[in-house]
Amino acid sequence: MTNQVEENQINSRAFRQVMGLFATGVTVVTTTLHGEIYGMTANSVTSVSLDPLLVLICVQKEATWGEKLRQTSGFTINILAEDRADLSNYFAGLWPAEASAPDFEFEPWLSGGRLRGALGGVACEIDQFIEGGDHWIVMGRVVDLYRADSPANPLLFYGGQYHRLGS
Q: Report the alpha-carbon distance of residue 87 to residue 40 in Å, rounded.
A: 10
Q: Report the alpha-carbon distance of residue 112 to residue 94 in Å, rounded.
A: 22
Q: Report the alpha-carbon distance of residue 107 to residue 119 in Å, rounded.
A: 14
Strand partners, 138: 57, 129
List, for residues 92-147, the tens digit of each pLDDT value: 999 999 999 999 999 988 888 899 999 999 999 999 999 999 999 999 999 999 99
List, for residues 29-49, the tens digit of each pLDDT value: 999 999 999 999 999 999 999
Residue 7 has pLDDT above 70, yes or no: no
The answer to whether residues 119 and 80 touch, using CB atoms and an 8 Å cutoff, is yes
Q: pTM score, two decimals?
A: 0.91
Q: Report the alpha-carbon distance of residue 26 to residue 136 in Å, rounded.
A: 18
Q: Report the alpha-carbon distance of residue 149 to residue 128 in Å, rounded.
A: 32
Helix spans in 6-160 (H): 12-19, 64-70, 85-91
